A and B are shown apart, each in its own frame.
Chain A
Amino acid sequence: MAKNVAEMLPGETAIIAGFTDEQIGLKLLELGLLPGTAIRFNFTAPFGDPICVSVSDVDLSLRINEASTISVIN
């Protein structure tokens, strides 16, 4: 079943399937979040937002509403 990055659990890894928001998607692509790449959910900030993810050895911080536009499969 398709889900998005915001629904992942700390420590979980999945493969990026696509983006549901064009504008955010373009920016994420430039940071190297390409469909087919593995994404790891590292940890969340104390209030659950933003979150820290790793994509090809880079740690990124994303807000929940940004993370929820990334659909993943695992």
Chain B
Amino acid sequence: MENGRIRIALTGKPNAGKSSLFNHLTGLNQKIGNFPGVTVDKRMGSCQLDINTQAEIIDLPGIYSLYPRTLDEKIVTEIFSDQKSELYPDKVVLIADATNLKNCMLLLTQLIDLRIPTVVALNMMDLAAKSGLSIDVKRFSSLLDVPVVMINARKGHGIYELKRLLAEPLSASKKSVFQIEDEIKPVIAIIKNHFNLATDYEAYHFLQQTDNLVFLSHEQRAFIKAVAKEHQFFPHKYQGAETVMRYGFIQELLNKAIVKPSHRDWKRVSHGIDRVLTHKVGGYIIFFGVLFLIFQAIFAWAQIPMDFIDSSFARLSNVLSRELPEGPFFELISQGIVPGIGGIVIFIPQIAILFACIALLEESGYMARVVFLMDKAMRKFGLNGKSVVPLMSGWACAIPAIMATRTIDNWKERLITIFVTPFMSCSARLPVFTILVALIIPNVKLFGFFNYQGLVLMGLYLLGFLAAIFSAWAMKFIIKTTERSFLMMELPTYRMPRWSNVGYTIVEKTKTFVFEAGRVILAISIILWVLASYGPVDEMNDAKRVVRAESSALQLSEAEIENRVAAYKLEHSYAGKLGKGIEPLIRPLGFDWKIGIALVTSFAAREVFVGTIATIYSIGSTEDQPTIKQRLRSEINPETGGPRYTPAVGMSLLIFYTFAMQCMSTLAIVKRETKGWKWPLIQLAYMTGLAYLSAFIVYQVMS
């Protein structure tokens, strides 16, 4: 305890209503960080329990017991078994699903044995009432020696009582559930004394899962293993017996505390919905219908706020350029930083909408069914049913998508999912696709109904998806593992989603994007701006003179000359030199140095392509899409005398952008999630190599 603030951890099994409770307790006072050393989101928030007491609330990942299965779950075990940890809670709230008490209590009995002061929040009392279940809460509480509060986390009932209880002093339960067998008592005593631990059960966990507890040093682990070996302690030997013993205790307790069990058919509605949603044919039709709706939402509805953001930032940049005094520093602000931030903000609508959809599916319980429906098909490709969510999120942005892979417990499947997710066409590719498709595909309708341009666009998304799936399939054979893959998960009862929870998810994911991807995008866009604005001094200083001399014969307006100067400067800048430098490399794909510059600048974010193209062809503003299209159409290829943007070049570019890894922020996240440079570098080489090869083939075949 520090300065009167107490630390409270929320824990419980998945789907018990932990997030709802966390949101109710903390409101918008939430911050998301990372647990030290590992990449698991740490949700924390503050809560005023009463006038005198403020609490720091930590939301822990959902678990069934202290024996972890996934990366997320390991954190919980670590926090509860390390009293010296700075995150070790003063008090714990265990959220239990009243309709499914038995499953929730395994963890509770473990916390009791660890002597951690715990309060049980008995959630979903409304459903319990509906199911006819009746619990003698007082008895339940006294049998466990743990205070119990009934709550309805969705509606916020009982939160006040819970807060009041948490503000008061709380002592740990004096019960002992797990009786350690006599034969291992000596070895427990050694560990307990050596590490100066408070409880036998803590010592038991040191022995049971030595490798899962990362706070132990190398020497400490070696010591534990040596002691275990000497006393013939085999970690797996006792775990099953422990679980059975705990469930025995739980069953006995529930027999006494449950006055009336729930009647069997309260889940009838939910089972009825399952018959439709997991139907052999109907299930897939509905799933693809839902996908279609999500697509519609991302593309049609997000366009309105995106256009608004786009024009606002362009205007702001223009105003600043005009109003600020001249000088490199102010140019950096108006032309480097402001558009850089705009390039991040513009993706927020799509990301917010996509995560709103995903949150809705998760809240309602449908997402578990999607995993159920897709598991077998996904496994054929080396993925897991749980890969569906990351892959879908990849349509908005690969960064939150890659973070969403943490729920996959098998390392190989998780790695493959991380590896292939960037193939899913993210929102940054869309502006590039839109302009190129409009350029090379005639705006006519097939059968008077299907728009050709729309079909090509859809085809590109499909192509990205197929690249993801088949790369996953290939990786299945390359990566070797001895780790086994599991599915085993609960299919929660269907419920109406809570809108406020959806809202919190949107805020959380958007923040993640802005701060994780945003800072990389901003940094790179500033570097690129510098590269594109500066070049060898004499050449840059010459720009105005040369352009004026060249165009003196043409009756150009002041603005047109300005645009030409900008184009001349870009051509002679460092970025321009880079573009020219890679020209020999990209010539086989049908690209010239101008496209080369756009490829180079795309490394900050792919959609920068459009802006770069606009500058290089002296268009001046990117707001005017028809102008860009017209200008590109009239661009002549000096070698052929025909248009530069032939269908072959356009297609080649489209394919290149579909496959290429052109996102530094994604690489940074992959590096963090895979803990090293190996995988992001392989990913960069593979994706860009595939892009190059495919674009090469497309161009050579088509031209």
Contacts and interface: CB of A to CB of B under 8 A. Distances in A.
A50 B376 CA distance: 7
Given A30-B67, A46-B284, A66 B372 contact: no
A56 B102 contact: yes
Contact of A58 (B67, B100, B284): B100
A5 B14 CA distance: 24
A61 B487 contact: yes
B247 A22 contact: no
A52 B372 CA distance: 9
Contact of B283 (A46, A50, A62): A46
A62 B106 contact: no
A59 B100 CA distance: 10
Interface stretch (B238-246, B302-310, B542-550): B238-246
Contacts of A60: 488-491
Contacts of B239: 26
Interface string B64-106: 1101010000000000000000000000000000011011001
B249 to A, nearest CB: 12
Contacts of A49: 375-376
Question: Which of A28, A30, A63 has most chain B Cβ within 10 Å?
Answer: A30
A34 interface: yes
A26 B243 contact: yes
Contacts of B243: 26, 29-30
Interface string B22-43: 0000000000000000000000
A34 B373 contact: no
B102 A61 contact: no
B372 A50 contact: yes
A47 B280 CA distance: 8
Contacts of B493: 59
Interface residues of B, number: 43
A57 B64 CA distance: 16
Contacts of A9: none
Interface in B359-391: 368, 371-373, 375-377, 385
A31 to B, nearest CB: 6
Nearest to B371: A61
B96 to A, nearest CB: 13
A45 B65 contact: no
Contacts of A63: 375, 486-488
A57 B368 contact: no
A47 B493 CA distance: 23
A42 B372 CA distance: 13
A63 B384 CA distance: 11
B279 to A, nearest CB: 8
Contact of B244 (A29, A61, A62, A66): A29
Contacts of A50: 372, 375-376, 385, 487
A19 to B, nearest CB: 9
A61 B368 contact: yes
Contact of B373 (A25, A30, A46): A46
B178 to A, nearest CB: 14
A49 B378 CA distance: 12
Interface string A20-56: 0011111111111011000000110111111010001
Q: Determine which residue in A28, A32, A48, A60 has the highest number of CB atoms from chain B within 10 A of its CB, and name it.
A: A32
Contact of A61 (B247, B275, B283, B489): B489
B491 A52 contact: yes
A62 B280 CA distance: 17
Interface of B: 64-65, 67, 69, 99-100, 102-103, 106, 236, 239-240, 243-244, 247, 262, 267, 271, 274-275, 278-281, 283-284, 368, 371-373, 375-377, 385, 484, 486-493
Interface of A: 22-32, 34-35, 42-43, 45-50, 52, 56-63, 66
20 contacts: A30-B64, A30-B243, A32-B103, A35-B244, A43-B275, A45-B372, A46-B283, A50-B375, A50-B385, A50-B487, A52-B372, A58-B103, A60-B489, A61-B371, A61-B372, A61-B487, A61-B491, A63-B486, A66-B486, A66-B487
Given A26-B67, A43-B278, A59-B492, 8 more contacts: A46-B279, A46-B284, A50-B487, A57-B267, A63-B375, A63-B486, A66-B487, A66-B488
